Amino acid sequence: MKRSIHLAAFLAALAPFAQAEEFKWAVTTDPQTMDPHAVNSAPVLGFLNNVYEGLVRRGKDMSVEPALATSWEPIGNGEGWRFNLREGVTFHDGSEFTAEDVLFSYQRASDEVSDTRSWFAPVSDVVMVDDYTVDFMTTAPNPIFPGSIANWMIMDSGWAEANNTTLPDKENGNYASLNTNGTGAFRVTSREPGLRTVLEPFENWWGEAEHNITRAELTPIQNPATALAALLSGDVDFINPVPIQDVARLNENSDIDVIQGIEARVIMLGFPHEADTLKYSSETNDANPFADVRVRQAVAHAINVPAILQTIMRGNAEPVSQLVSPAMQGYVSELEARPEYNPDRARELLAEAGYSDGFSFGLKCPNNRYLNDEAVCQAITGMLAQVGVTATLDAMPVQNYWPELRADNYDMYLLGWSPGTFDAEHPIRFLAATPNEEKRVGSWNFGGYSNARVDELLPMIQSEIDAASRQAMIDETTKILQDEMAYVPMYVQPLVWGTRSNIELTQRPDNFFILRWVTVN
Amino acid sequence: MSDFPIPVKPKSRLRIALDSDLFYTFKRSPVAMVSAAVVLVLVLSAVFAPLIAPTNPFNPASLNLMNGFTPPMTPNAFTGESFFMGTDDQGRDVFSTILYGMRISLFVGVAAVFFAMVLGITLGLISGYVGGWTETIIMRTADVQLTFPSILVAMLIFGIAKGVTPVEYRDQMAIWVLILAIGLSDWVQFARVVRGATLVEKNKEYVQAARLIGRTPTAIMLRHILPNVLSPVLVIATISLALAIIAEATLSFLGVGAPPTQPSLGTLIRIGQGFLFSGEWWILLFPAITLLALALSVNLLGDWLRDALNPRLR
Amino acid sequence: MLAYIIRRAGQSALVLLIVGLVAFAMFRFVGDPIDNMLGQERTAEDIERLRAQLGLDQPFVVQYYKFLEGAVQGNFGVSYRQGRPVAEILLERAPATLELAMVSGVLAILFGIALGVFTAIRRDGWLANVIMSASLIGVSLPTFLIGILLIYLFSVELGWLPSFGRGETVDLGGWSTGFLTESGLKALILPSITLGLYQMTLIMRLVRSEMLEVLRQDYIRFARARGLRDRAVNFRHALKNTMVPVITVIGLQLGAIIAFAIITETVFQWPGVGLLFINAIQFVDIPVMAAYLMLISVMFVGINLLVDILYFFIDPRLRADRSGGH
C-alpha cells in the first residue's frame, strides 16, 4: 500500500520531465575524481570543464576566449599578466565569485600536492589588485601564459574552507573529490564513481545557453564492443571513442553520425639514445645501433606509414613529420614532409652504419593506451623485418608500460604525445630537452636524447614575446630533431566520436566533450 | 616369502573396458565417432600446419599490410591477392592463422592438462596413501587453489613470471606461463579424485598384501593403486582439455593470453570480436567455429568416455 | 567433534593468511599505481613523493603487515583510484554482483535440475540426446564471446534488451536492487544467462548421472515392482536421493559464479565487484584488489568449511573426504 503511494508520487514527479531533453553518453574511463586540481588527466579535466570554469577557456576552434575573466593584458614589459574578472558570476551554491576565489584557487592548484602545479611554474607571485582584478607576475616574459591556464578551474574559497578541502588529497580523497561547486553551465546532481554521473543545467549561469539539455548522464563503458552496441541500440546517445574499424559501417547507418577530427596526439617511436648496448638482442650485445643516426633514419624509411593509416587506421589518421600536429601553435609547415617509405634506402642506410645483415632488438608497446596501438606495433614489426631488422614485440597494458620505460627496459618504444598547452614548446620541454629534474624538463625523455642547441633554445622559446622570432627558434629546433631523427613521428591520432543522428554537437581537437554545445533534436 | 599366497590382483576397469566393451560402444555411438573424426582432423591439420597452410602467419617479414581485411575468396583491392578465408587486420591469411593458432591452443591445452594430471595424481596419491600432516597440507593447498579463481591464478603467475624471467626470454615465456597457469588451476580435481580412490583402494586386501611382502610405497602407489584410478582420470583429462582450451581464450580476453604476433585461437577470437560490428565477420567467425568444433568434439568424446567407462550406466 | 571443527577453522584462517600473502605478492607485478595518479606533467620528484605517501617505498613485509593489521579491523584502506574507503565501495557494488549471481544461480539450478531429470528419464530419447549435446555448445565457447553474441542479437539486432548496465535501481536501505523496476529486470536477463550457462550445464550433467545411478539401485527397482507410478518413483525417490551431491556442488559453484562474474560484468558493464576488480587491475588500485581477493577467499573458505562440517554431521566416515567436482 505504502509503496504504491510512493510510486504514484514518483510518477507525478516525473511528469514535468516528460518532454525533457535527456542526453546519455559513454566514455571508456570514468573521471577518477571531481577535484579539478588533484589529477592533471584528460578524462578528469575534460569532464570538469562542464562544471568548473577557468579565467579563460578554449572555444570551438581551440582559440583562447574570455570566461571568468572578461579581458587580460600583459603587465609592463613582460613582467606578468593582468586579468579583469567577470562581475555578477555565482557558484552553483549561490556564493559570489571574486578575486579572492582566484587567489585561493591559485594557492590550491599550485601547491606541492596538486598535480596541476607545473602550470604555475613560471609564476612568481599573484596579486589581488581589487575584487575584480588579479595580477599574475611571471619570472620571465611568458607570451603563452593565458592559454596555458585554460584548464585551471576556479573553486569557491568559502565552500572549500567550509568543507575542509582547501587542498586536494590524491591519497585519501576529500569532499571535493566527490562533490563539486563550480561556476560552469552544468552542475553535478548525482555522482556514483565508476557507475554514473548526472548533470543538470545551472540556471544562474552567466553565459547564454546554446544547448537544450535538461539532464545529462555519463556512464563509463570499458569494452569497446559493448559501448558500440549501446550506441547502436540507442541505450546511449554518444560514445567516445568509436572503434576506428567501425567508422565505415556506422557511416552507412542513418541512425548514427560519426564525427571525425584530428586529435592533438602525435604517435611516434622513441629510441634509447643513451644506452650502450641493446637489451633484447640475440646477437648485438656490444653496441647500440640506435645511437647511430643512420639507423634511426633507416627505421623511418622502413615504416610504411601510409599503409598503416590505410589499413589499421582505415584512412582516418594523418601522417605527421614533427612532434606536434598541424593544428598546434608553432607547427612548422615548411618541414611537413615525412621521410618517404623506401625500404631500399633503409637497407642502404643500415649497410652504411655497418648493419647490412640487420640485427634483432626488442620493441615495447602499450596495448590499451592509444588507438589500435598493438596492431600498429605489429605492423611496424613486420615492416622492419622486411629490411632485415627483426623486432621482438612486447605489448603490455599501460599500467606495466610506464614502469618498463622508466626502468629503460626497451630498445625501441611507442609513445603518444598530446601537448597540454597546444603549443610546440610543450613536446620540446618534455620530450626533447635533456632530462633535468631541477629545471623540470625532459621528464618524458625516456631515451635521454640530448642536444646542446635544443637545450639552449628551449628557455629562449619560453620567454620570447615576439611571435616571429619565437617561431624561428621553434623552426630551428624542429629541424634539429628531424635531422637527428630523435624520434620518428608517424601520425596524428584521429578523434572519432559517434552520436545518434538526432544529436548535434561540436568536437574540439583536445577531445574534451563540451556539454553546452550539445543539442538534442 | 615367495610362496606366500598373493591374491590375484583384479584387472583394472580401464583394461576390461578396452579389451571388451569400449571399442564396441564406440562403434555404436555415431556422436562419438563423428567427434573423434573431427578431433582427429583438427589435430592433424594443426600438427601439419606448416605443410597445409598457404602462408606462415608467424613470420612478420612475409606479411603485407596492404592485404589487410581482404574478404574471403575476394581479390584484395590493392594487391589483387585472394584468400580462402580472407585476411585479418595485419594482412594475415585467416586460414593459415587458424591452423597455426590451433597448434598453440592444442599445445597449451594438452600440456596444461598433462601438467595438471601429473601434479594432481602425484599429490592425490601421496595425500591419500600417506595421510596425516602431508595430506592436510596438500588438501589445504588445494583449498587455497580453489579459492583463487583460475583466471586470477593465471594473472598472478603471468605477472610473477614476467618479473622473474630474463628479458630476452619473455616472448617465448607467454606460452609456458599459460601452460603453468592453466595447469595449476586444474590439478585439484585430479588430486581429489585420485585421493578419494586411493583411500578406498589402500585398505583393500591386495594392497595390504603387497605391503606385507615389502613392496615400497612408491611401487604400491604406482603399480597397484594408480591403474585403478585411471579411468576417472581419463574422463577428467578429456573434459579438462576442452576447459583448458576455453580458459586460454578467456585469459586472452583479459589480456594475458598468447602474444598477438603468435596468436592462439583464443587470441584470434579476442582480436576478431573487435570486428563484429564493422562488417569483417570472417575474422571472428572462422576462428570461433574452429574453437567451437574443437572444444565441442572433445567435450562430446569426454562425455561418451565417461558413460562408456562407467559400466553401471550401460 | 568440536576439536575437529576448531582444527578446520584454524586451517581456514591459515588459508586466508596465505591467500593474503600471495595476493599481496602479486601486486608488485601488476604495475605501478603512480602513473595513474599523476598527470602528464609530473616529475620524478612527484613520483617519489607520492610513492612515499602511499607507503609503497616500504619493504614488502611491512606493507603486508599493515594491510593485515587494517584488514582484521575491517579497514581495507582507501582506493587509490576513487579516494574513498574500499569497504564502502565494496558494499556499494556488492548488491549488483550478488543479485546477478543469485539470478544466474537460480536459473542454473532450475533448468539444470529439470533438464537433468528429463535427460536421465529419457536417456535414450532423441530429444534428451540433443539436449545433452547442445548443452555442451554453451561450454565450448568462451564466456566473453557468448556475452557479446547475445548483446549483438538481443540488443543491437532485435532491440529487445538493454546492452549494458543494470537499468534503474531502487535503493532499499543501502541495498540497491534491480528487481523492482522493469528496466532492472530486463537488464538482468542477458548477463545472468551468460553467467549461468556453464553452471547449468554442470548441474544438468550431474543430476543426470546421479539420477541414472540412483535409478538402478535396488530400492528403486523394488518401488517399481511394488507398482508405484513412474512419476512417484522418479521424483519422490530418485530425485530426492540425488540431491545431496547436487547441493554440495551447487554450494561450491556459488563461489565460482561470483568469481566468473568478472568476465560477464566486464562484457556487460555490470557495476558489480567483478568489474570493480578489473578496473582496479587496470589502474593498479592495490587496496581494492587486496580487499576483493580477501572477500572472495573468505567466501570460498567459508563455504568449504561449512560443507566439511555438514559432512561431518551427515556421515563421520566421510570426514573431509569429498571428491565433488570443482
What's the pLDDT at C173?
A: 79
What integer best gives the mean pLDDT of chain C?
A: 81
What's the pLDDT at A209?
A: 86
In degrees, rounded to 5, the angle at the alpha carbon of residue A393 between the alpha carbons of residues B59 and A347 is 65
In the predicted model, is pLDDT for residue A1 greater than 50? no
Comparing CB atoms, the residue among B61, B255, B275 nearest residue A382 is B61
Based on DSSP, count helices (H) and strands (E) in chain B, helices before strands.
14, 0
B65–A409 CB contact, under 8 Å = no
In the predicted model, is pLDDT for residue B216 greater than 60? yes
What's the pLDDT at A4?
A: 44
Q: Nearest-CA neighbor of A509 among A46, A97, A142?
A: A46
The Cα–Cα gap between A106 and A138 comes to 14
Q: Min CA distance, A173 vs chain C (Å)?
A: 4
Looking at chain C, the whole-number percentage of residues with pLDDT higher than 90 is 14
What's the pLDDT at C226?
A: 74
In the predicted model, is pLDDT for residue A16 greater than 50? no
- Cell triple for A318: 594523418
* CA–centroid distance for A307 within its chain: 26
In the predicted model, is pLDDT for residue A5 greater than 50? no
Give the amino acid at B209.
A
What's the pLDDT at C314?
A: 60
| B123, B134, B152, B239, best to mutate vs chain C, most C CBs in 10 Å | B152
Mapped onto helix, strand or coil, the DSSP state of residue A163 is: coil
For residue A229, the chain B residues in CB contact (below 8 A) are: 277
Average pLDDT (A304-322) is 91
Q: Residue A137 in contact with residue A84, Cβ under 8 Å?
A: no
In the predicted model, is pLDDT for residue C31 greater than 80? no
Residue contacts between A and C (CB atoms, under 8 Å): 145
Q: Min CA distance, B68 vs chain A (Å)?
A: 6
Average pLDDT (C181-196) is 91
* pLDDT confidence bin for A431, thresholds 50/70/90: very high
Looking at chain A, the whole-number percentage of residues with pLDDT higher than 90 is 63
In the predicted model, is pLDDT for residue A68 greater than 70? yes
Comparing CB atoms, the residue among A115, A173, A444 nearest residue C83 is A173
What's the pLDDT at B120?
A: 92
Q: What is the pLDDT of residues B95-113, one digit of tens each?
A: 999 999 999 999 999 999 9
State how far the alpha carbon of A81 is from the alpha carbons of A141, A469, C215, in Å. 9, 21, 91
What's the pLDDT at A18?
A: 42
In the predicted model, is pLDDT for residue B21 greater than 70? no
Average pLDDT (B275-292) is 89
Q: Min CA distance, A79 vs chain C (Å)?
A: 24
Average pLDDT (A316-330) is 90
What's the pLDDT at C123?
A: 78
Residues of A with CB under 8 A from a CB of B: 224-225, 228-229, 232, 243, 245-246, 248-249, 279-282, 304, 307-308, 310-312, 362, 367-368, 374-375, 378-379, 381-383, 385-386, 390, 392-395, 397, 400, 409
What's the pLDDT at B8?
A: 53
Quickly count: other Cβ atoms within 10 Å of residue B119's Cβ: 17
State how far the alpha carbon of B287 is from the alpha carbons of B57, B70, B90, in Å. 14, 16, 16
Average pLDDT (A78-83) is 92
Higher pLDDT, B303 or C28: B303
Cis peptide before B75 (omega within 30 of 0): no
Where are chain C's structural domains?
94-275+299-321
Q: 3-state SS of C125-170?
A: CHHHHHHHHHHHHHHCCCHHHHHHHHHHHHHHHCCCCCCCCCCCCE
For residue C286, the chain A residues in CB contact (below 8 A) are: none
Chains near C, with 3+ CB pairs < 8 A?
A: A, B
A178–C84 CB contact, under 8 Å = yes
Chains near A, with 3+ CB pairs < 8 A?
A: B, C
What integer best gives the mean pLDDT of chain A?
A: 89
Looking at chain B, which residue has its C-alpha nearest residue A408?
B167
What's the pLDDT at C323?
A: 39
Average pLDDT (A218-235) is 91
Instruction: Mention every residue, 6+ apart, whose C-beta is less than 8 A from residue A418.
Output: A42, A263, A264, A265, A266, A510, C40
* CA–centroid distance for B156 within its chain: 20
Determine the CATH number of domain C94-275+299-321: 1.10.3720.10
Q: What is the pLDDT of residues B244-268, one digit of tens each?
A: 888 888 888 877 777 777 888 888 9
Looking at chain A, which residue has its C-alpha nearest residue C50?
A171
Average pLDDT (A366-371) is 87
* pLDDT confidence bin for B17, thresholds 50/70/90: low
B255–A367 CB contact, under 8 Å = yes
Beta bridge partners of A127: A135
Higher pLDDT, A463 or C326: A463
* pLDDT confidence bin for C177, thresholds 50/70/90: confident
What's the pLDDT at C68?
A: 82
What's the pLDDT at A231?
A: 94
What's the pLDDT at A467?
A: 87
Helices marked H in A215-342: 224-232, 247-251, 293-302, 305-311
Q: Would the ipTM clear 0.90, i.e. be above it? A: no
Q: Which of A26-30, A89-93, C11-15 has the highest mean pLDDT?
A: A89-93
The Cα–Cα gap between A409 and A469 comes to 39
Looking at chain C, which residue has its C-alpha nearest residue B288?
C141
For residue A310, the chain B residues in CB contact (below 8 A) are: 66
Q: What is the pLDDT of residues C140-170, one digit of tens each?
A: 888 889 999 999 999 988 989 998 988 888 8
* pLDDT confidence bin for A353, thresholds 50/70/90: very high
What's the pLDDT at A182?
A: 93
Average pLDDT (A2-10) is 45
Q: Residue B277 in contact with residue A232, Cβ under 8 Å?
A: yes
For residue C164, the chain A residues in CB contact (below 8 A) are: 219, 221, 226-227, 229-230, 235
Looking at chain A, the whole-number percentage of residues with pLDDT higher than 70 is 96
What's the pLDDT at B1?
A: 40
Q: What is the pLDDT of residues A175-204, one digit of tens each?
A: 999 999 999 999 999 998 888 999 999 999
Residues 103-162 on B with a CB inside 8 Å of C are 136, 139-140, 143-144, 146-149, 151-152, 155-156, 159-160, 162
State how far the alpha carbon of C63 is from the alpha carbons of A503, C69, C78, C154, in Å. 51, 10, 14, 47
Q: What is the pLDDT of residues B187-209, one digit of tens each?
A: 888 888 888 888 877 777 877 88
A14-23, A25-34, A417-426, B160-169: least confidently modelled range? A14-23
In the predicted model, is pLDDT for residue B168 greater than 90? no
- Cell triple for A64: 583562447
Burial of A186 (0-12, 13-18, 19+ CB in 10 A): buried
| B81, B171, B253, B261, best to mutate vs chain A, most A CBs in 10 Å | B261
* pLDDT confidence bin for B224, thresholds 50/70/90: confident
Q: What is the pLDDT of residues C67-118, one digit of tens each?
A: 888 877 878 888 888 888 898 899 889 899 999 999 998 999 899 989 988 8
Helices marked H in A331-408: 343-352, 373-386, 398-406
Quickly count: other Cβ atoms within 10 Å of residue A22's Cβ: 12
B102-106, B165-169, B176-180, B285-289: least confidently modelled range? B165-169
The Cα–Cα gap between C184 and A52 comes to 33
Comparing CB atoms, the residue among C132, C140, C205 nearest residue B292 is C140
